[in-house]
Structure 1
Amino acid sequence: ANFKTKYKTYFNILYLKIKEYNILLSNTYNIDKKGFLISIIRRFKRVFS
């Protein structure tokens, strides 16, 4: 697989969508799955039986 081409394509599409929808860079966030799951787990109480 040619990762350089894939990354370049991804960021080109991302750039076009940011421009298309007029998204401010201050309204973008860097979230990975682990960080997202941690924030969800902290919100809910767990009940075990």
Structure 2
Amino acid sequence: MIRKEFSEHLGSVYRKPVFWSCSYCIISYGRAPISLLNQYIQQQAEID
């Protein structure tokens, strides 16, 4: 949705048709336990 709405601007910044990059990190995670964050990160690595 964001990618479609701002396609002109994002197209000049991001070469690939994605909004997020694997290089982004989690700065704020609310009250999630660190074990849940570790699990999420491991699952993302499996997807790549």
Q: What is the TM-score normalised by the length of structure 1? A: 0.32
* Greater RCO (Cα-Cα under 8 Å, separation 6 or more): 2
- Name the one with the larger helix percent: 1
Q: What is the TM-score normalised by the length of structure 2? A: 0.33
Task: Specify the structure having the higher radius of gyration (Cα).
Answer: 1
